[in-house]
Structure 1
Amino acid sequence: MGVKIEVFRMMLYLSFPVAMFWVSNQAEYFEEYIVKRKREIFPPGEEVQRKELESFKERMRVRKEQRILKSISGEPEN
């Protein structure tokens, strides 16, 4: 009787994490919960926010390029 219980417990211990991994990696689950939640938090199509982000990226890129050029030319940074 003891061996049968140990085999059952081992099967339970091994099958539970495998089953949870399998369930959580289903495409339907991912689409339903993860993607919908992301779209709630970051709604697509907000043109103003997208333009602000793009302008911020451009300013940071220009600032980085200026710093690199100053370091190459030997000018001290402010």
Structure 2
Amino acid sequence: MGVKIEMFRMMLYLSFPVTMFWISNQAEYFEEYIVKRKVSHFPCRKELENFKERMRVRREQQILKKMSEN
């Protein structure tokens, strides 16, 4: 009886991670949960890009101002 229980436990230990890996790598799962969640967490991508652009322009102006002072 001991060998059968050990084989069952080993099969369970090996099949669970493999099954979870297989399920999580399905394209439908990825599209449904990961992509939609990313879109819902970062809806204002244009605002972020505009902010980055403003900060870049501001940094360039500061550098130019420092260069003109010297």
TM bucket by the smaller chain? 0.5 to 0.7
> CA shift at 1:53, angstroms?
2.1
Separation in structure 2 between the aligned mates of residue 17 and residue 32 of structure 1, nearest angstrom:
21
**Unpaired stretches in structure 1, ≥5 consecutive residues:** none
Could you tell me how far apart the structure 2 residues matched to 1:33 and 1:25 are?
A: 11
Identity, % of aligned pairs?
Answer: 62
Q: CA deviation at 1:14?
A: 0.7
Q: Deviations 1:5-56 (Å, cap 9, x if unpaired)? A: 1111100011101111111121211111111011111115x64x13222222
Residue 51 of structure 2 is matched in structure 1 by 52
Q: Which blocks of at least 5 consecutive residues in structure 2 are unaligned? A: none
**SS of equivalent residue, structure 1 residue 56:** helix
Compared CA separation, residues 57 and 34, structure 1 to 2 (3 A): farther
| CA gap 1:31/1:56 in 2 versus in 1, 3 angstroms | same
TM-score, length-scaled by structure 1: 0.62
The code of the aligned residue for 2:23 comes to: V
Alignment: residue pair count = 63
Q: Which runs of 4+ in 1 moved over 3 A?
A: 57-60
Q: What RMSD in Å do the two structures reach over aligned CA positions?
A: 2.5
Q: Take 1:11 and 1:28, find their aligned partners in 2: how far apart are those partners?
A: 27
Distance 2:28 2:56 in 1: 34
